[in-house]
Structure 1
Amino acid sequence: MTTAPDSISRCAWCGQDALYQAYHDREWGVPLHDDRSLFELLTLEGAQAGLSWITVLRKRDNYRAAFAGFDPAQVARFGPTDEAALLTNPGIVRNRLKVASTITNARAFLAIQAEFGSFDAWLWRFVDGRPIHNTWADLSQVPASTPLSDALSKALRKRGFRFVGSTICYAFMQSAGLVNDHLTGCFRHLEVAGLSSPA
C-alpha cells in the first residue's frame, strides 16, 4: 500500500505518477462490457509484454490514433501497407510481432463476435458473468496467473489470438474487472466490489 500526498491509500504499484494513479482510481478493476474497450485493453496488455504498464499507458492515445480507435472491424482490414506504416510510428511499440498480432487478433475478435453476439458475452462466461473479488492484503499475495487465466489463454490461442499468454490474460482480467485485485487497504477495493456487473 502507498498513501499519496492527498492522503488516499492506494495499491502501491501505481506509485506517485498522476497518469498511473488516475488509471488505478478510475479504470483498473471496473467491470468492463464494451467490446471496443475490451479489444483496446487486450491489445495494450499484449503490447506491454516485456515492458512496464506505465510505458504503454503513456502511449495509449497514440495507439488509439494508430489503430482506428480500436475498432476491430477496421483493424481487421489493415493490410501490409498499414502494417509497414505502423512499424514507423514512434508513438507505439514498434515490434513487428506485436503489430502483426493486433491485426490478427482483430480478425479473431470479429469471429468471436459473430459466433457469440459479442466478445463480452464470450469473455464473461469464464467467471460466470460476475467478477471475482479477492481479498489480498499485500501485493506479494497477488498472483501473476491463475488456472482461470490459463484457461482463458488456452481458449484465445485456440481461436487464433497471439500475445495472450496466461500472465497477459491475468493482467487483462484484472484491468477489465473480471477479478478485483485492489488490495483490501486500498480505497478502491470496496468501491469496485460494490459495482454491479450486467449479465
Structure 2
Amino acid sequence: MSAISHHAPDALLAAYASGNLGHPYALAVAAHISLCLDCRAAYEAHQAAGGAVLEGGGPAAMSAGRREALLAMLDAPRKPEPAFRPSGIFPGPIMQALNGQPPRWRSLGMGNRQCILSANRQGSSRLLYIAPGQAVPEHSHNGLELTLVLQGSFSDSTGRFGVGDLEVANDDLDHQPIADEGAPCICLAATDAPLRFSSLIPRLLQPIFRI
C-alpha cells in the first residue's frame, strides 16, 4: 500500500468515537482507520479520552421505570454480529456493508460503474469504479462528501489521492475527479445530500443513478 497522505480530520474521528456520525460517514471513517495507522491511533485516543470522562463523572439520577428498562435491555439476549474480514481491496467494514458478497456493479457509462451500499435519510454510501483516464462529471456539493480510495488513484484540483487516502469535500469545493492511468480507481463515496452537477446530462441522469 502506498503511503497515506490525506487523513480524516480530527473532528470526524472524535464524532465517530462518540457514536455521533451517520452511517454513510461512519462507514467511510471505519474503513479509513482500518487502513491508516495514524488515524487509528487518533481514534483510539479519542475513545480513551471519552472513557476517562465517563469514569470521572458522578452518578446520574434515574427513575425506577427507566432503570428497569435499562436492566431489561442489558439482560436481553443479543445475537452477535458476524465479523467480516478484509477481502482483496475491500477492508472489513466495507465487506460488512456488502454482507460478505462481491460488489454488484451497475454501469454509469464511459466504463464507469457504481454499487450502492446504502441510501436513506442519513445519506448514501456507494462504491465507484472509474476507468483509467475517465472523469467523474464536474460537481459541487450540497453537504459533505467523503471519498476513500481502495484501488488505483484519482486527481482533482486539490491534489492526488491514492490507496487509503480520504478526500473531504464540502460545499465550497467544485471539482472534477479524474482516475489516473494504471489500475481502475475504486473508491468508497459517502454523502449526506445529492451532488450538484455542472452540466445538463448528469443532472438529467441523477435521479436514475441516485447520486
Higher-Rg member (1/2): 2
TM-score by structure 1 length?
0.24
Which structure would you say has the larger RCO, counting Cα contacts within 8 Å and 6 or more residues apart? Answer: 1
TM-score by structure 2 length?
0.24
Task: Choose between structure 1 and 2: higher helix proportion.
Answer: 1
